[in-house]
Protein backbone atom coordinates (compact mmCIF):
# COMPACT_ATOMS: atom_id res chain seq x y z
CA UNK A 1 0.00 0.00 0.00
CA UNK A 2 1.57 3.34 -0.96
CA UNK A 3 1.02 6.28 1.31
CA UNK A 4 1.07 9.91 0.28
CA UNK A 5 1.77 13.05 2.21
CA UNK A 6 -1.70 14.55 2.09
CA UNK A 7 -1.77 16.92 4.99
CA UNK A 8 1.49 18.72 5.73
CA UNK A 9 0.04 20.73 8.57
CA UNK A 10 2.62 22.71 10.46
CA UNK A 11 2.14 21.89 14.11
CA UNK A 12 3.75 23.72 17.01
CA UNK A 13 4.94 20.50 18.67
CA UNK A 14 8.67 20.02 19.20
CA UNK A 15 10.22 18.38 16.15
CA UNK A 16 12.68 16.41 18.24
CA UNK A 17 11.70 14.42 21.31
CA UNK A 18 13.38 11.75 23.36
CA UNK A 19 10.67 9.15 22.68
CA UNK A 20 8.01 8.84 20.02
CA UNK A 21 5.19 6.36 20.48
CA UNK A 22 3.38 5.36 17.29
CA UNK A 23 -0.26 4.46 17.80
CA UNK A 24 -2.64 5.00 20.67
CA UNK A 25 -4.69 1.86 21.13
CA UNK A 26 -4.53 -0.04 24.40
CA UNK A 27 -0.75 -0.46 23.91
CA UNK A 28 0.42 3.03 22.89
CA UNK A 29 -1.90 4.74 25.33
CA UNK A 30 -0.75 2.50 28.19
CA UNK A 31 2.87 3.30 27.28
CA UNK A 32 2.18 7.04 27.25
CA UNK A 33 0.56 6.80 30.68
CA UNK A 34 3.56 4.90 32.04
CA UNK A 35 6.00 7.49 30.66
CA UNK A 36 4.03 10.22 32.43
CA UNK A 37 4.04 8.16 35.62
CA UNK A 38 7.85 7.88 35.30
CA UNK A 39 7.95 11.66 35.26
CA UNK A 40 8.91 11.90 31.61
CA UNK A 41 7.77 14.88 29.61
CA UNK A 42 9.91 14.60 26.50
CA UNK A 43 7.68 12.32 24.44
CA UNK A 44 4.96 12.44 21.81
CA UNK A 45 2.30 10.00 20.62
CA UNK A 46 1.64 10.01 16.87
CA UNK A 47 -1.80 8.59 16.06
CA UNK A 48 -3.23 8.37 12.55
CA UNK A 49 -6.85 8.32 13.78
CA UNK A 50 -8.63 11.22 15.37
CA UNK A 51 -9.05 9.57 18.77
CA UNK A 52 -7.43 7.02 21.05
CA UNK A 53 -8.71 3.43 21.02
CA UNK A 54 -7.07 1.81 17.99
CA UNK A 55 -8.94 -1.28 16.92
CA UNK A 56 -11.77 -0.49 19.35
CA UNK A 57 -12.17 2.92 17.72
CA UNK A 58 -12.15 1.47 14.21
CA UNK A 59 -14.30 -1.65 14.54
CA UNK A 60 -17.79 -0.22 14.84
CA UNK A 61 -19.61 -2.96 12.94
CA UNK A 62 -23.01 -4.02 14.32
CA UNK A 63 -22.60 -6.55 17.11
CA UNK A 64 -18.95 -5.64 17.83
CA UNK A 65 -18.05 -6.76 21.35
CA UNK A 66 -15.12 -8.25 23.16
CA UNK A 67 -14.72 -11.98 23.61
CA UNK A 68 -12.68 -11.62 26.79
CA UNK A 69 -14.54 -10.60 29.98
CA UNK A 70 -14.16 -6.90 30.65
CA UNK A 71 -12.94 -7.16 34.23
CA UNK A 72 -9.86 -8.84 32.77
CA UNK A 73 -9.82 -6.94 29.47
CA UNK A 74 -8.92 -3.63 31.10
CA UNK A 75 -5.80 -1.97 32.49
CA UNK A 76 -4.70 -3.22 35.92
CA UNK A 77 -4.19 0.39 37.00
CA UNK A 78 -7.63 1.49 35.83
CA UNK A 79 -10.16 -1.14 36.85
CA UNK A 80 -13.70 -0.21 35.96
CA UNK A 81 -16.41 -1.27 38.42
CA UNK A 82 -19.07 0.13 36.09
CA UNK A 83 -18.86 -2.44 33.28
CA UNK A 84 -22.48 -3.05 32.39
CA UNK A 85 -22.02 -6.70 31.42
CA UNK A 86 -19.47 -9.47 31.49
CA UNK A 87 -18.43 -9.08 27.82
CA UNK A 88 -18.66 -5.41 26.93
CA UNK A 89 -19.68 -4.00 23.61
CA UNK A 90 -17.41 -1.88 21.44
CA UNK A 91 -18.93 1.49 22.43
CA UNK A 92 -18.45 0.85 26.14
CA UNK A 93 -14.83 -0.27 25.65
CA UNK A 94 -14.03 2.74 23.49
CA UNK A 95 -15.59 5.06 26.11
CA UNK A 96 -13.48 3.34 28.80
CA UNK A 97 -10.24 3.83 26.82
CA UNK A 98 -11.09 7.49 26.22
CA UNK A 99 -11.84 8.04 29.91
CA UNK A 100 -8.55 6.43 30.96
CA UNK A 101 -6.70 8.75 28.55
CA UNK A 102 -8.45 11.79 30.04
CA UNK A 103 -8.00 10.74 33.66
CA UNK A 104 -4.29 10.15 33.15
CA UNK A 105 -3.64 13.47 31.43
CA UNK A 106 -1.91 12.21 28.33
CA UNK A 107 -4.10 13.63 25.58
CA UNK A 108 -1.90 16.74 25.41
CA UNK A 109 0.95 14.43 24.35
CA UNK A 110 -1.02 13.15 21.36
CA UNK A 111 -0.84 14.34 17.80
CA UNK A 112 -3.97 12.98 16.12
CA UNK A 113 -4.66 12.54 12.39
CA UNK A 114 -0.93 12.11 12.05
CA UNK A 115 -0.06 9.27 9.71
CA UNK A 116 3.48 7.96 10.10
CA UNK A 117 4.77 7.51 6.56
CA UNK A 118 8.30 6.34 7.23
CA UNK A 119 10.79 5.78 10.03
CA UNK A 120 14.48 5.48 9.17
CA UNK A 121 17.40 4.87 11.52
CA UNK A 122 20.04 7.53 11.13
CA UNK A 123 23.37 6.06 12.24
CA UNK A 124 25.14 9.43 12.18
CA UNK A 125 22.82 11.09 14.61
CA UNK A 126 21.82 7.85 16.38
CA UNK A 127 18.23 8.95 16.03
CA UNK A 128 15.13 7.87 14.17
CA UNK A 129 14.09 10.18 11.32
CA UNK A 130 10.33 10.08 11.11
CA UNK A 131 8.23 11.41 8.25
CA UNK A 132 4.55 11.93 8.91
CA UNK A 133 1.55 13.53 7.25
CA UNK A 134 2.12 16.38 9.72
CA UNK A 135 5.78 16.95 8.97
CA UNK A 136 9.08 15.45 10.08
CA UNK A 137 10.22 14.43 13.55
CA UNK A 138 13.33 12.93 15.11
CA UNK A 139 13.52 10.81 18.24
CA UNK A 140 16.19 9.01 20.21
CA UNK A 141 13.87 6.08 20.88
CA UNK A 142 10.70 4.88 19.20
CA UNK A 143 7.99 2.65 20.63
CA UNK A 144 5.95 1.12 17.83
CA UNK A 145 2.49 0.33 19.14
CA UNK A 146 0.57 -0.01 15.88
CA UNK A 147 -0.97 -3.38 16.79
CA UNK A 148 -1.55 -6.43 14.64
CA UNK A 149 -5.18 -5.85 13.72
CA UNK A 150 -4.96 -2.40 12.17
CA UNK A 151 -4.57 -2.95 8.42
CA UNK A 152 -7.70 -4.53 6.86
CA UNK A 153 -6.91 -7.35 4.49
CA UNK A 154 -8.98 -7.29 1.31
CA UNK A 155 -9.36 -10.58 -0.52
CA UNK A 156 -7.70 -10.94 -3.89
CA UNK A 157 -10.84 -12.10 -5.71
CA UNK A 158 -11.29 -11.63 -9.45
CA UNK A 159 -13.58 -8.71 -10.26
CA UNK A 160 -14.05 -7.49 -6.67
CA UNK A 161 -13.02 -3.95 -7.62
CA UNK A 162 -15.74 -3.86 -10.27
CA UNK A 163 -18.58 -4.56 -7.86
CA UNK A 164 -21.11 -1.75 -8.30
CA UNK A 165 -23.14 -2.17 -5.11
CA UNK A 166 -22.18 -1.12 -1.60
CA UNK A 167 -18.95 -2.73 -0.45
CA UNK A 168 -16.91 -2.28 2.71
CA UNK A 169 -14.59 -4.10 5.14
CA UNK A 170 -15.83 -5.09 8.59
CA UNK A 171 -13.25 -2.79 10.22
CA UNK A 172 -14.39 0.18 8.09
CA UNK A 173 -18.14 -0.21 8.47
CA UNK A 174 -20.12 2.26 6.39
CA UNK A 175 -22.94 3.34 8.70
CA UNK A 176 -24.56 5.37 5.92
CA UNK A 177 -25.47 2.19 4.07
CA UNK A 178 -28.93 0.88 4.92
CA UNK A 179 -28.88 -2.90 4.72
CA UNK A 180 -32.53 -3.46 5.66
CA UNK A 181 -34.42 -5.26 2.91
CA UNK A 182 -31.29 -5.75 0.76
CA UNK A 183 -29.62 -8.88 -0.60
CA UNK A 184 -26.31 -8.96 1.26
CA UNK A 185 -23.22 -11.15 1.05
CA UNK A 186 -20.66 -11.57 3.84
CA UNK A 187 -17.26 -13.05 2.98
CA UNK A 188 -15.49 -14.66 5.95
CA UNK A 189 -16.54 -16.53 9.07
CA UNK A 190 -13.96 -15.30 11.61
CA UNK A 191 -14.43 -13.47 14.92
CA UNK A 192 -15.81 -10.35 13.19
CA UNK A 193 -18.23 -12.13 10.84
CA UNK A 194 -19.78 -14.26 13.56
CA UNK A 195 -20.78 -11.07 15.35
CA UNK A 196 -21.95 -9.27 12.21
CA UNK A 197 -24.13 -12.07 10.84
CA UNK A 198 -26.54 -12.30 13.82
CA UNK A 199 -26.72 -8.50 14.01
CA UNK A 200 -27.93 -8.12 10.41
CA UNK A 201 -29.58 -11.45 9.50
CA UNK A 202 -32.99 -10.40 10.81
CA UNK A 203 -32.96 -7.12 8.87
CA UNK A 204 -31.74 -8.03 5.42
CA UNK A 205 -33.94 -9.63 2.77
CA UNK A 206 -31.39 -12.35 2.12
CA UNK A 207 -27.88 -13.11 3.34
CA UNK A 208 -25.28 -15.24 1.54
CA UNK A 209 -22.47 -16.19 3.91
CA UNK A 210 -19.31 -17.24 2.06
CA UNK A 211 -17.41 -19.63 4.29
CA UNK A 212 -13.93 -20.92 3.43
CA UNK A 213 -13.22 -22.65 6.76
CA UNK A 214 -15.85 -23.40 9.40
CA UNK A 215 -15.00 -21.94 12.82
CA UNK A 216 -15.36 -23.81 16.13
CA UNK A 217 -17.86 -22.13 18.41
CA UNK A 218 -18.26 -22.26 22.18
CA UNK A 219 -20.98 -20.77 24.40
CA UNK A 220 -20.67 -17.09 25.28
CA UNK A 221 -21.18 -16.74 29.04
CA UNK A 222 -22.36 -13.19 28.69
CA UNK A 223 -24.89 -11.44 30.92
CA UNK A 224 -25.58 -7.99 32.32
CA UNK A 225 -24.24 -7.31 35.81
CA UNK A 226 -26.92 -6.81 38.48
CA UNK A 227 -26.81 -3.62 40.50
CA UNK A 228 -25.69 -5.37 43.74
CA UNK A 229 -22.74 -6.86 41.83
CA UNK A 230 -21.74 -3.50 40.46
CA UNK A 231 -22.01 -1.93 43.90
CA UNK A 232 -19.85 -4.73 45.31
CA UNK A 233 -17.25 -4.15 42.57
CA UNK A 234 -17.25 -0.49 43.44
CA UNK A 235 -17.44 -0.39 47.20
CA UNK A 236 -16.22 -3.68 48.66
CA UNK A 237 -12.43 -3.70 48.61
CA UNK A 238 -10.93 -6.60 46.73
CA UNK A 239 -14.11 -7.91 45.08
CA UNK A 240 -13.24 -6.68 41.62
CA UNK A 241 -9.61 -7.84 41.90
CA UNK A 242 -10.87 -11.23 43.02
CA UNK A 243 -13.26 -11.48 40.08
CA UNK A 244 -10.44 -10.47 37.74
CA UNK A 245 -8.11 -13.07 39.23
CA UNK A 246 -10.74 -15.80 38.89
CA UNK A 247 -11.32 -14.95 35.21
CA UNK A 248 -7.56 -14.86 34.62
CA UNK A 249 -7.02 -18.26 36.23
CA UNK A 250 -9.91 -19.89 34.37
CA UNK A 251 -8.68 -18.60 31.02
CA UNK A 252 -5.08 -19.58 31.73
CA UNK A 253 -6.04 -23.25 32.14
CA UNK A 254 -6.75 -23.33 28.38
CA UNK A 255 -3.01 -23.02 27.72
CA UNK A 256 -2.55 -26.59 28.93
CA UNK A 257 -4.64 -27.88 26.00
CA UNK A 258 -3.71 -25.28 23.41
CA UNK A 259 0.06 -25.24 23.84
CA UNK A 260 1.03 -28.37 25.71
CA UNK A 261 -1.42 -31.29 25.36
CA UNK A 262 -3.69 -30.72 22.32
CA UNK A 263 -5.49 -34.02 22.96
CA UNK A 264 -7.17 -32.25 25.91
CA UNK A 265 -8.90 -29.96 23.43
CA UNK A 266 -11.32 -32.81 22.73
CA UNK A 267 -13.27 -31.64 25.80
CA UNK A 268 -13.96 -28.35 24.06
CA UNK A 269 -14.76 -30.16 20.82
CA UNK A 270 -17.44 -32.19 22.60
CA UNK A 271 -19.04 -29.02 23.99
CA UNK A 272 -18.90 -27.36 20.59
CA UNK A 273 -20.43 -30.34 18.73
CA UNK A 274 -23.29 -30.49 21.23
CA UNK A 275 -23.90 -26.78 20.68
CA UNK A 276 -23.92 -27.23 16.92
CA UNK A 277 -26.41 -30.06 17.15
CA UNK A 278 -28.72 -28.09 19.41
CA UNK A 279 -28.59 -24.81 17.52
CA UNK A 280 -28.53 -25.70 13.82
CA UNK A 281 -31.69 -27.67 12.91
CA UNK A 282 -31.04 -27.85 9.16
CA UNK A 283 -28.78 -30.93 8.66
CA UNK A 284 -27.35 -29.66 5.37
CA UNK A 285 -26.28 -26.40 6.96
CA UNK A 286 -25.03 -28.26 10.02
CA UNK A 287 -22.77 -30.41 7.88
CA UNK A 288 -21.43 -27.32 6.11
CA UNK A 289 -20.52 -25.52 9.33
CA UNK A 290 -18.94 -28.52 11.05
CA UNK A 291 -15.18 -27.87 11.29
CA UNK A 292 -12.73 -30.48 10.00
CA UNK A 293 -9.68 -29.66 12.12
CA UNK A 294 -8.80 -29.74 15.81
CA UNK A 295 -10.47 -27.06 17.94
CA UNK A 296 -8.08 -24.27 18.95
CA UNK A 297 -5.98 -24.55 15.77
CA UNK A 298 -7.70 -21.35 14.67
CA UNK A 299 -9.09 -18.94 17.23
CA UNK A 300 -12.01 -20.49 19.13
CA UNK A 301 -15.02 -18.24 18.80
CA UNK A 302 -17.82 -17.65 21.28
CA UNK A 303 -21.39 -16.85 20.33
CA UNK A 304 -24.90 -17.84 21.29
CA UNK A 305 -26.44 -16.07 18.30
CA UNK A 306 -24.36 -17.18 15.32
CA UNK A 307 -25.77 -20.68 14.79
CA UNK A 308 -29.40 -19.60 15.27
CA UNK A 309 -28.74 -16.81 12.73
CA UNK A 310 -27.38 -19.11 10.05
CA UNK A 311 -30.25 -21.51 10.72
CA UNK A 312 -32.65 -18.83 9.45
CA UNK A 313 -34.41 -19.43 6.13
CA UNK A 314 -33.11 -16.17 4.65
CA UNK A 315 -29.48 -17.14 5.28
CA UNK A 316 -27.53 -19.39 2.91
CA UNK A 317 -24.10 -20.77 3.81
CA UNK A 318 -22.05 -20.94 0.62
CA UNK A 319 -19.00 -23.20 0.73
CA UNK A 320 -18.26 -23.71 -2.97
CA UNK A 321 -15.52 -21.11 -3.13
CA UNK A 322 -15.72 -17.78 -4.90
CA UNK A 323 -14.68 -17.73 -8.55
CA UNK A 324 -15.49 -14.13 -9.35
CA UNK A 325 -17.32 -11.02 -8.22
CA UNK A 326 -19.34 -9.28 -10.93
CA UNK A 327 -21.00 -5.85 -10.96
CA UNK A 328 -24.05 -7.11 -9.06
CA UNK A 329 -23.36 -10.70 -8.09
CA UNK A 330 -20.94 -13.33 -6.85
CA UNK A 331 -20.17 -16.42 -8.94
CA UNK A 332 -18.94 -19.54 -7.15
CA UNK A 333 -16.62 -22.18 -8.59
CA UNK A 334 -19.56 -24.50 -9.34
CA UNK A 335 -20.89 -21.80 -11.70
CA UNK A 336 -23.77 -20.58 -9.51
CA UNK A 337 -24.38 -16.83 -9.64
CA UNK A 338 -26.02 -15.11 -6.65
CA UNK A 339 -27.21 -11.53 -7.07
CA UNK A 340 -26.50 -9.08 -4.26
CA UNK A 341 -26.91 -5.39 -3.45
CA UNK A 342 -24.20 -5.13 -0.79
CA UNK A 343 -20.97 -6.95 -0.02
CA UNK A 344 -19.39 -7.03 3.44
CA UNK A 345 -15.78 -8.17 3.47
CA UNK A 346 -14.96 -9.69 6.88
CA UNK A 347 -11.64 -11.18 5.81
CA UNK A 348 -9.42 -10.05 8.67
CA UNK A 349 -6.18 -8.11 8.79
CA UNK A 350 -2.62 -8.04 7.47
CA UNK A 351 -0.98 -9.58 10.51
CA UNK A 352 2.25 -11.23 9.35
CA UNK A 353 2.50 -8.94 6.31
CA UNK A 354 1.51 -5.55 7.70
CA UNK A 355 2.14 -2.61 5.31
CA UNK A 356 3.60 -0.79 8.34
CA UNK A 357 6.63 -3.11 8.09
CA UNK A 358 7.50 -1.58 4.72
CA UNK A 359 7.82 1.89 6.21
CA UNK A 360 10.47 1.14 8.86
CA UNK A 361 14.11 1.04 7.74
CA UNK A 362 16.72 -0.20 10.17
CA UNK A 363 20.48 -0.04 10.59
CA UNK A 364 21.30 -2.28 7.61
CA UNK A 365 19.17 -0.28 5.17
CA UNK A 366 16.62 -3.08 4.97
CA UNK A 367 13.01 -2.45 5.84
CA UNK A 368 11.33 -4.53 8.49
CA UNK A 369 9.31 -6.28 5.80
CA UNK A 370 12.47 -7.10 3.78
CA UNK A 371 14.14 -8.51 6.88
CA UNK A 372 11.04 -10.53 7.84
CA UNK A 373 10.87 -11.79 4.27
CA UNK A 374 14.41 -13.12 4.50
CA UNK A 375 14.68 -14.46 8.03
CA UNK A 376 11.06 -14.68 9.11
CA UNK A 377 9.17 -12.54 11.55
CA UNK A 378 11.15 -12.94 14.70
CA UNK A 379 11.88 -10.71 17.60
CA UNK A 380 13.01 -10.78 21.19
CA UNK A 381 10.33 -10.94 23.89
CA UNK A 382 8.01 -9.39 21.30
CA UNK A 383 9.68 -6.09 22.14
CA UNK A 384 12.88 -5.74 20.10
CA UNK A 385 14.11 -6.76 16.65
CA UNK A 386 17.71 -7.16 15.57
CA UNK A 387 19.05 -4.38 13.28
CA UNK A 388 16.45 -1.94 14.62
CA UNK A 389 18.32 -0.06 17.35
CA UNK A 390 16.54 2.14 19.87
CA UNK A 391 13.20 0.84 18.69
CA UNK A 392 10.83 -1.09 20.91
CA UNK A 393 7.70 -2.89 19.86
CA UNK A 394 4.48 -3.44 21.74
CA UNK A 395 2.61 -6.41 20.26
CA UNK A 396 5.62 -7.44 18.21
CA UNK A 397 6.26 -11.05 17.13
CA UNK A 398 4.87 -13.90 19.26
CA UNK A 399 2.97 -12.04 21.91
CA UNK A 400 -0.53 -12.70 20.54
CA UNK A 401 -3.14 -14.75 22.36
CA UNK A 402 -6.39 -16.37 21.38
CA UNK A 403 -7.73 -17.28 24.79
CA UNK A 404 -7.21 -14.41 27.21
CA UNK A 405 -6.60 -10.69 27.57
CA UNK A 406 -4.08 -8.96 25.30
CA UNK A 407 -4.07 -6.10 27.80
CA UNK A 408 -2.18 -8.37 30.21
CA UNK A 409 0.52 -8.98 27.57
CA UNK A 410 0.61 -5.29 26.70
CA UNK A 411 1.17 -4.32 30.33
CA UNK A 412 4.00 -6.88 30.59
CA UNK A 413 5.67 -5.26 27.59
CA UNK A 414 5.10 -1.78 28.97
CA UNK A 415 7.00 -2.84 32.12
CA UNK A 416 9.86 -4.04 29.95
CA UNK A 417 10.06 -1.01 27.69
CA UNK A 418 9.70 1.44 30.58
CA UNK A 419 12.61 -0.30 32.30
CA UNK A 420 14.58 -0.22 29.04
CA UNK A 421 14.14 3.55 28.79
CA UNK A 422 15.13 3.96 32.45
CA UNK A 423 18.23 1.81 31.82
CA UNK A 424 19.18 3.87 28.77
CA UNK A 425 19.06 6.99 30.93
CA UNK A 426 20.85 5.48 33.89
CA UNK A 427 23.70 3.97 31.89
CA UNK A 428 23.83 6.91 29.46
CA UNK A 429 23.38 4.59 26.51
CA UNK A 430 23.30 6.07 23.08
CA UNK A 431 22.18 2.93 21.26
CA UNK A 432 20.69 -0.40 22.32
CA UNK A 433 20.15 -3.16 19.81
CA UNK A 434 19.18 -6.71 20.63
CA UNK A 435 22.03 -9.09 19.80
CA UNK A 436 21.53 -11.70 17.04
CA UNK A 437 22.58 -14.41 19.49
CA UNK A 438 19.91 -13.42 22.02
CA UNK A 439 17.31 -13.45 19.24
CA UNK A 440 18.47 -16.85 17.99
CA UNK A 441 18.40 -18.51 21.41
CA UNK A 442 15.07 -16.93 22.34
CA UNK A 443 13.37 -18.04 19.12
CA UNK A 444 14.81 -21.53 19.20
CA UNK A 445 13.29 -22.03 22.67
CA UNK A 446 10.04 -20.40 21.64
CA UNK A 447 9.56 -22.52 18.50
CA UNK A 448 10.52 -25.59 20.50
CA UNK A 449 7.63 -24.88 22.86
CA UNK A 450 5.37 -24.15 19.90
CA UNK A 451 6.10 -27.50 18.27
CA UNK A 452 3.64 -29.46 20.41
CA UNK A 453 0.84 -26.91 20.20
CA UNK A 454 -2.52 -27.33 18.53
CA UNK A 455 -1.70 -24.30 16.34
CA UNK A 456 1.06 -26.34 14.65
CA UNK A 457 -0.61 -29.75 14.73
CA UNK A 458 -4.33 -29.08 14.53
CA UNK A 459 -4.69 -29.53 10.76
CA UNK A 460 -5.73 -26.00 9.78
CA UNK A 461 -4.27 -23.08 7.83
CA UNK A 462 -4.31 -19.93 9.93
CA UNK A 463 -3.01 -16.38 9.89
CA UNK A 464 -1.00 -17.26 12.98
CA UNK A 465 1.62 -18.77 10.63
CA UNK A 466 3.95 -16.76 8.39
CA UNK A 467 4.96 -17.75 4.88
CA UNK A 468 7.84 -19.82 6.28
CA UNK A 469 5.31 -21.94 8.20
CA UNK A 470 6.38 -20.61 11.60
CA UNK A 471 3.90 -19.43 14.16
CA UNK A 472 5.21 -15.90 14.64
CA UNK A 473 2.02 -14.57 16.13
CA UNK A 474 1.22 -16.41 19.36
CA UNK A 475 2.83 -16.76 22.77
CA UNK A 476 3.14 -20.52 23.40
CA UNK A 477 3.07 -20.61 27.19
CA UNK A 478 1.26 -19.31 30.27
CA UNK A 479 0.99 -15.54 30.21
CA UNK A 480 2.48 -15.27 33.71
CA UNK A 481 5.68 -16.73 32.25
CA UNK A 482 5.77 -13.82 29.80
CA UNK A 483 5.17 -11.40 32.69
CA UNK A 484 8.16 -12.94 34.47
CA UNK A 485 10.38 -12.69 31.36
CA UNK A 486 9.56 -9.03 30.84
CA UNK A 487 9.76 -7.88 34.46
CA UNK A 488 13.14 -6.22 33.93
CA UNK A 489 15.05 -5.00 30.92
CA UNK A 490 17.90 -7.49 30.39
CA UNK A 491 20.51 -5.16 28.96
CA UNK A 492 22.98 -8.07 28.67
CA UNK A 493 20.95 -9.34 25.67
CA UNK A 494 21.64 -6.08 23.82
CA UNK A 495 24.63 -4.58 22.03
CA UNK A 496 25.02 -1.09 23.36
CA UNK A 497 27.06 2.02 22.78
CA UNK A 498 27.45 4.80 25.25
CA UNK A 499 27.50 8.43 24.32
CA UNK A 500 31.28 8.43 24.48
CA UNK A 501 31.71 5.25 22.41
CA UNK A 502 29.66 6.39 19.47
CA UNK A 503 31.00 9.93 19.53
CA UNK A 504 34.50 8.53 19.34
CA UNK A 505 33.55 6.27 16.45
CA UNK A 506 31.86 9.12 14.60
CA UNK A 507 34.98 11.25 14.97
CA UNK A 508 37.12 8.39 13.68
CA UNK A 509 34.86 7.99 10.63
CA UNK A 510 34.96 11.74 10.00
CA UNK A 511 38.76 11.72 10.20
CA UNK A 512 39.14 9.00 7.53
Binding residues vs ligand N01 (CB under 6 A):
65-67, 149, 155, 157, 170, 187-193, 210, 212-213, 299, 322, 346-349, 463
Compute the distance between CA of residue 78 and CA of residue 100 in angstroms, rounded to an integer: 7
Contact predicate 494/434, CB 8 Å: yes
Asked if 288 and 315 count as a contact pair (C-beta separation under 8 A), the reply is no
What radius of gyration, in Å, describes the C-alpha atoms of the chain? Answer: 24
Angle between helices 406-426 and 26-37 (to 10 degrees): 40
CB of 465 to ligand N01, least distance (A): 11
Quote the least distance from Cβ 195 to ligand N01, whole Å.
Answer: 6
Query: How far are the Cα atoms of 276, 302, 396, 407 from residue 220, in angstroms, in the given order?
Result: 14, 5, 29, 20
| 137 versus 464: smaller Cβ distance to ligand N01 | 464
**Residue (244 or 299) nearer to ligand N01, CB:** 299
Residue placing its CB nearer to ligand N01 in the complex, 343 or 434: 343
In the complex, minimum distance from the CB of residue 374 to ligand N01, in angstroms, rounded to a whole number: 25
**What SS3 class is residue 53?**
coil
Run of H or E residues at 433: strand 429-434
d(CA 105, CA 224): 31
- Minimum CB distance to ligand N01, residue 314 (Å): 21
- By beta-carbon proximity to ligand N01, the closer residue of 361 and 405 is 405
Q: Do 114 and 439 touch, CB atoms closer than 8 A?
A: no
The answer to whether the beta carbons of residues 134 and 111 sit under 8 Å apart is yes
73: nearest Cα among 83, 60, 63, 64:
83
Quote the CA–CA distance of 99 and 243 in Å, as a whole number: 22
Q: Which is nearer to ligand N01, 114 or 406 (CB)?
A: 406
| Nearest to ligand N01 of 210, 455 (CB atom) | 210
**Smallest distance from the beta carbon of 338 to ligand N01, in angstroms?**
14
What is the 3 state secondary structure string of 163-188?
A: CCCEEEEHHHCCCCCCCCCCEEEEEC
- State the nearest-atom distance from the C-beta of 354 to ligand N01, in Å: 13
Q: Closer CB to ligand N01, residue 118 or residue 213?
A: 213
Q: Output 222 or 370, the one with its CB closest to ligand N01.
A: 222
Put the strands of the sheet holding 337-339 in their side by side order.
Answer: 322-325, 329-332, 337-339
Provide, rounded to whole angstroms, the least separation between the CB of residue 496 and ligand N01.
35
Separation CA 31–CA 375 (nearest Å): 29
**CB 7 → ligand N01: shortest distance, Å?**
28
Amino acid sequence: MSRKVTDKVVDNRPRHVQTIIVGSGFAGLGMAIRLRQQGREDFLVLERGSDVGGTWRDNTYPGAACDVPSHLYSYSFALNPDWSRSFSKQGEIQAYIRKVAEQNNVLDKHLFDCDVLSMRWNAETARWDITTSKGDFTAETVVSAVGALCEPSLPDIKGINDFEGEIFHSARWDHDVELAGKRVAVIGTGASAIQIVPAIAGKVAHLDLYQRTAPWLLPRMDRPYFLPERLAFKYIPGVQRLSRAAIYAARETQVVGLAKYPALMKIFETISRAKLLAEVRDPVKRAKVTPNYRIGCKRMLISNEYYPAIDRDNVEVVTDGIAEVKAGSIVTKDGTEREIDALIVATGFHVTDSPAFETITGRTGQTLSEQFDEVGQRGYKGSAIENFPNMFFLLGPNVGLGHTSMVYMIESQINYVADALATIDKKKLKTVEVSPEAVRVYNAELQDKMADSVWMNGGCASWYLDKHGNNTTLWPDFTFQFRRLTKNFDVAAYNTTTTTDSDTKLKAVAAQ
